Amino acid sequence: MIFNDEFPIQQYLQDLKSEDPNLKINAVQRLPNITSNLGFNFKKVINKQIQKIDFQQIKNQLIPFITETIQDHENDDEFLKLLSEKILYISTQLKQEDHHLLITPLELIISLEEPQVRQKGIDILIQISENNETQIYFEYLYNSIKQTYKWENIPNKICIIYIISNFSQRIEKAVLNKNFLFQIIEELAKDQAQIVRRNLCENLQKISHIFVEKNDQIFLFYQCFLQDENDSVKSKAIQISPFFLRLFHQKLKKKILFIISKISFLTSN
């Protein structure tokens, strides 16, 4: 489909904000076509001459529109998962140095409560990041973490946990400030919200690979999670126990096993 005066792109974009779920799904399925019409790779024959349409419109029109749609409108889970996949396509129509523009809409998706939606956003961000070799992209990701952390709300804290868990090593090469990222982890380990502690516990294995030199402190986080007042956090810590039993030396292993056996005794009585 070629968009023109009869089929304006704006008309299809507005459907992304529709209250009708079917219209929204149909609109998001058209995003690759819309992107191609706006984009750098699309060629159009005018008076037998091939001209490239300015891909700046993707940056200036399409991405802000998508971000606003995620942020300001009610969206069902299927729509958001499909939208995440289309964001991956949009990344193929941009230069690598412009991929940072996609961090904000994906962060919004990662910060949502539904686990499947959040995981889809993480998967897409990982794919875009793995294909990016530019330092500027990871500098933006680092600055995004710093800015997001200032907001101090639970969805953003969860989003930060997943970004740090997956991208710290790449971020470190770009900004050389690994200690700041670990300071955030330390604060989140003591967060009052059990859902934040549980998500951090879930990602503790990845974090231990990234911050190898901090493993003694990571063990303290793990020990606190094992004895957490919230059962869901405690349960998550028990689930990852086999990894930590392999990681730490014999003395710490005995301590872990003692804590687990104590928990088992208390829960059985």
Contact between residue 141 and residue 163 where contact means Cβ atoms under 8 Å apart: yes
51 φ, ψ (degrees, to nearest 5)? -125, 145
Residue 213 lies in a domain: no
d(CA 255, CA 219): 11
Q: Is the dihedral of CA 112, 167, 232, 115 positive or negative?
A: positive
Neighbours of 147 (CB within 10 A): 12
Residue 152: which residues within 8 A CB-CB, separation 6 or more? none
- 263: nearest Cα among 229, 217, 216: 229
Residue 230 lies in a domain: no
Residue 190 lies in a domain: no
Residue 144 lies in a domain: no
The number of domains in the chain is: 1
Residue 78 lies in a domain: yes
Residue 180 lies in a domain: no
Its domain, for residue 59, covers 1-132
pLDDT one digit per residue (tens) for the chain, 269 residues: 444 444 456 677 778 888 888 888 888 888 887 777 765 443 443 344 444 445 677 888 889 989 999 987 889 999 999 999 999 999 988 888 899 999 999 999 988 878 899 889 989 998 998 888 888 888 888 888 888 887 778 888 988 998 888 877 677 666 657 788 889 999 999 999 999 999 999 999 989 888 888 888 898 899 899 889 999 999 999 898 888 888 776 666 677 777 777 766 556 65
Residue 99 lies in a domain: yes
